[in-house]
Chain A
Amino acid sequence: DIQMTQSPSSVSASVGDRVTITCRAGHNIRTYLNWYQQKPGKAPQLLIFGVSTLQSGVPSRFRGTRSGTEFTLTISSLQPEDFATYYCQQSYSTWTFGQGTKVEMK
């Protein structure tokens, strides 16, 4: 199994803030890294695939980057609809999710 270590587990932020979430893979997963957004009572939704490609309809304030086995999701200017839980996922060898990061209102 490839472990995915996601941090922080939660972050308190205000509208307009820049938010950064990190995911570290326990193995070289190349660019097989995806990000999901989940709102309460809803299924996760694909946000970014292949490290940095935005799923159709996802606003450009979301950005994904990679440095080796460390992956980052950045929300450049947090909007009210962005308060949610975010998960990374590796798809290099079967699939594993990170533990999730809850973005809460400060």
Chain B
Amino acid sequence: QVQLQESGPGLVKPSETLSLTCGVSGFPVTSGHYWAWVRQPQEKDLQWLGSMYHDGTTTYEPSLKSRVTISRDTSNNHFSLTMRSVTAADTALYYCARVFGEFLSFDSWGPGILVTVSS
């Protein structure tokens, strides 16, 4: 059974770079369809940030494309999110998820990590 776990700093200063890692167990990140990052400001909407296909190609939410990069480490079976030039508006719960199946649904999620942007 696939399991995902986000890790990274819970506090980032404005204008700096947010870096999160999603550790995956039970399924190789080089398989499946996509691996995704989603965020949720407190009690607000879910926002898809970007995804990495199992071959390493990436796609991003257009409004964030200039600030976001998703990468992977196949030897450690994890994938990562980097978001540059953060502001308070980037404060949110960040989730990683596996995208699977014909209808590209997010069938497995990590528990989430709260990232606060503050000086």
Contacts and interface: CB of A to CB of B under 8 A. Distances in A.
Interface of A: 1, 31-34, 36, 42-46, 49-50, 53, 55, 87, 89, 91, 94-97, 99-100
Given A36-B106, A43-B95, A49 B47 contact: no
A50 B112 contact: no
A42 B112 CA distance: 8
Contact of B59 (A33, A36, A91, A94): A94
B105 to A, nearest CB: 4
B79 interface: no
Nearest to B111: A43
B9 interface: no
**What are the 3 tightest A-B residue pairs by CB atom distance, in nearest-first order?**
A43-B109, A91-B104, A49-B105
Given A43-B95, A99-B45, 9 more contacts: A33-B103, A34-B103, A34-B106, A44-B95, A50-B101, A91-B105, A94-B48, A95-B106, A100-B45
Contacts of A99: 45
Contact of B102 (A42, A50, A55): A50
Interface residues of B, number: 22
A54 B45 CA distance: 23
A96 B104 CA distance: 12
B45 A44 contact: no
Contact of A95 (B51, B107, B111): B51
Contacts of B107: 46, 49, 55
Nearest to A31: B103
Interface in B9-45: 36, 45
A44 B59 contact: no
B47 A97 contact: yes
A43 to B, nearest CB: 4
Contacts of B110: 43
A45 B107 CA distance: 7
A87 to B, nearest CB: 6
B105 A43 contact: no
Contacts of B102: 50
A87 B46 contact: yes
